[in-house]
Amino acid sequence: MTRPLDVLALGNAIVDVIARCEEDFLVHQGVAKGSMTLIDEDRAESIYAAMGPATITSGGSAANTVVGAASFGARSAFIGKVKADPVGDLFAHDIVASGVAFGTSLAREGKATARSFILVTPDGERTMNTYLGACQDLSEADIDPTTVQSAAVTYLEGYLWDPPAAKAAFRKAADIAHAAGREVALTLSDSFCVNRYRDEFRQLISGGTVDLVFANEHELKALYETADFDTALEALRRDAKRAAVTRSEKGAVIIEGRKTFAIPAYPIETLVDATGAGDAYAAGFLFGYTAGLGYEKAGRLGALAASHVIQKIGARPEKSLKVLAQENGLL
Amino acid sequence: MTRPLDVLALGNAIVDVIARCEEDFLVHQGVAKGSMTLIDEDRAESIYAAMGPATITSGGSAANTVVGAASFGARSAFIGKVKADPVGDLFAHDIVASGVAFGTSLAREGKATARSFILVTPDGERTMNTYLGACQDLSEADIDPTTVQSAAVTYLEGYLWDPPAAKAAFRKAADIAHAAGREVALTLSDSFCVNRYRDEFRQLISGGTVDLVFANEHELKALYETADFDTALEALRRDAKRAAVTRSEKGAVIIEGRKTFAIPAYPIETLVDATGAGDAYAAGFLFGYTAGLGYEKAGRLGALAASHVIQKIGARPEKSLKVLAQENGLL
| B229-243 pLDDT tens trace | 999 999 999 999 999
Facing B53 at nearest CB: one of A52, A97, A313: A97
Q: Which residues of chain A have pLDDT under 50?
A: 1
Structurally, how many domains does chain B consist of? 1
Interchain pair B97, A316: CB under 8 A:
no
Q: How far is A224 from chain B (nearest CA, A)?
A: 38
CATH of residue B178: 3.40.1190.20
Alpha-carbon distance of A7 to A75, in angstroms, equals: 6
Q: Average pLDDT of B298-319?
A: 96
Alpha-carbon distance of B118 to B187, in angstroms, equals: 20
- pLDDT at B2 exceeding the cut of 80: no
Nearest CA in chain A to B122: A319
- pLDDT at B86 exceeding the cut of 90: no
Alpha-carbon distance of A217 to A230, in angstroms, equals: 10
Q: Average pLDDT of B43-68?
A: 96
- pLDDT at B4 exceeding the cut of 90: yes
Q: Comparing C-alpha atoms, which of B14, B44, B2, B96 is closest to residue B314?
A: B14
Residue B56 at interface with chain A, using a CB cutoff of 8 Å:
yes
Q: Average pLDDT of B64-68?
A: 98
Which range marks the domain in which residue A114 is found?
A: 5-327
Alpha-carbon distance of B297 to B289, in angstroms, equals: 9
Residue A218 phi/psi, 5° resolution? -65, -40
Facing B56 at nearest CB: one of A56, A98, A313: A56
Interchain pair A54, B93: CB under 8 A:
yes
The answer to whether B220 touches B240, Cβ cutoff 8 Å, is no
Facing A54 at nearest CB: one of B48, B52, B94: B94
Alpha-carbon distance of A95 to B244, in angstroms, equals: 43
Q: What band does B95 get if pLDDT is binned at 50, 70 and 90?
A: very high
3-state secondary structure of B245: strand
Dihedral class, residue B329 (left if φ above 0, else alpha if ψ from -120 to 50, else beta): left
Residue B291's alpha-carbon distances to A184, B59, B69, B288, in angstroms, are 63, 25, 11, 5
Contact list in A for residue B56 (CB cut-off 8 A) is 55-57, 87, 90
The confidence score (pLDDT) of residue B1 equals 42
- pLDDT at B311 exceeding the cut of 60: yes
Contact list in B for residue A91 (CB cut-off 8 A) is none
Alpha-carbon distance of B95 to B68, in angstroms, equals: 10
The answer to whether A216 touches A247, Cβ cutoff 8 Å, is yes
Compute and round to an integer the Cα radius of gyration of chain A.
18
Facing A93 at nearest CB: one of B48, B86, B314: B48
Residue A144 phi/psi, 5° resolution? -90, 115
- pLDDT at B174 exceeding the cut of 80: yes
Nearest CA in chain B to A67: B53
The confidence score (pLDDT) of residue A86 equals 87
B142-155 pLDDT, tens digit each: 999 999 999 999 99
Of all residues in chain B, what percent carry a pLDDT higher than 90?
Answer: 97
The confidence score (pLDDT) of residue A2 equals 60
Nearest CA in chain A to B67: A53
